[in-house]
Amino acid sequence: MDALRQALEPAALPPGSTPVLAVIVDTEEEFDWSKPFSRSAVGVASIPAQASMQAVFRRHGIAPTYAIDWPVAATPVSIAFMRRLLDRGECEIGAHLHPWVNPPHEETLSAPNSYAGNLPRELERRKIDALTRLIERNFGRHPRLYKAGRYGIGPQTPGILAELGYEIDASVVPHTSFRGDGGPDFRAGPDRPFWFGPGDRLLELPVSTGFAGRLSARGPALFPWLEGRIGRTLRLPGIAARTGLLERIPLTPEGCGLEDLKRVARAMLADGHRVLTLCYHSPSLVPGHTPYVRDEAQLRAFLATCDAFFDFFASEAGGRFATAAEILDACRAARAAPAGTPEPARLSA
């Protein structure tokens, strides 16, 4: 997207900091991903099921950020569940905008309009503002993190977020384009945290996406060609992955196994990344709601994959876990430190 193709200031942890992992959950209603968008699909029965993953988080000392959308923030059962976690200090709450179920309902339902960044600025602002106020009313605090549904950040979004008091965005998916569906193209943008928006005050925490394989160092240049029209016709992305040459892997248990997650984490850490984010959609915690978890066996595997990956990250990779807000505070401290400061305060363990 054009708003992220300008020169941007990288954001980094203080020198000497060990790698950190934040978990950001797209916390949303259940709907059939294969059907047209509907304003009436607002069930949130899967929200209490987050307790199974929360038990995994608890074992590893992880406090995830649940980026919640309108149905979650408006329904008593999901409010009560999230409030208990929040009051115990076991999570943070952010905002997640699904424009098709978030008032005001003025736009035509369509694939392009499902990306909030495509909406007129005033309508996008009113939707984000309405969600923000709902979260404040039902959870007693202002969300600091925003994640656009379907990763639909647009050219006006940074200014809107700044106006509404947000400090972190988590909508960018590096090395990925959604143009075929009317969404943004992130292939020319950074693949690690950066400052952006008015006065460069917003922190972007991208969805960790990297390349593995013998040609991983050339991934950003090669992969757009592989997934182009000719490349897809020849099935080149699959061939490159199967032969161990090049594979684009997002850091998510949805569609990725444990070895996939380890491979991309190792590759990104070797490339100098020190901030990683793992994401998933909350409806995946109930079989049948997403393509990634269709039965109880897949749910057990999903939970086990996360559990084992967290253990890998802390033990083998030597990393630790942080909330999005803690990462923001650490990056701000590093940014404010005078040049030549030998050892700024590190992110607390």
The tokens for 219 are: 């991934």
Residue 201 CB-density burial (10 A; 0-12 exposed, 13-18 middle, 19+ buried): middle
What's the pLDDT at 232?
86
What's the pLDDT at 342?
46
Tens digit of each residue's pLDDT (9 = 90 or more) over 7-39: 699 999 999 999 999 999 999 999 999 999 999
What's the pLDDT at 349?
34
Q: Which of 32-36, 118-122, 195-199, 227-231 has the lowest mean pLDDT?
A: 227-231
Q: Which of 100-104, 173-177, 344-348 has the lowest mean pLDDT?
A: 344-348
What's the pLDDT at 345?
37
Half-sphere exposure at residue 91, Cβ-oriented, CA atoms within 13 angstroms: 26
**Over 70: is that where the pLDDT of 348 sits?**
no
pTM for the model stands at: 0.94
Tens digit of each residue's pLDDT (9 = 90 or more) over 187-220: 999 999 999 999 999 999 999 999 999 999 999 9
**Over 50: is that where the pLDDT of 178 sits?**
yes
SS3 call for 22? strand
What's the pLDDT at 340?
57
Domains of the chain: residue spans and CATH: 8-208+252-336 (3.20.20.370), 211-250 (no CATH)
Mean per-residue pLDDT of the chain: 94
Peptide bond into 120 cis (omega under 30): no
307-317 burial: b if 16+ Cβ within 10 Å, else e = bbbbebbbeeb
**Over 60: is that where the pLDDT of 263 sits?**
yes
As a whole-number percent, the residues of the chain with pLDDT over 90 amount to 90
* More confident call, 224 vs 308: 308
Residue 177 CB-density burial (10 A; 0-12 exposed, 13-18 middle, 19+ buried): middle
**Over 90: is that where the pLDDT of 318 sits?**
yes
What's the pLDDT at 346?
41
What's the pLDDT at 308?
98
**Over 50: is that where the pLDDT of 344 sits?**
no
**Over 50: is that where the pLDDT of 347 sits?**
no
**What crossing angle do the helices spanning 296-315 and 50-60 adopt, rounded to 10°?**
20
What's the pLDDT at 49?
98
SS3 call for 332? helix
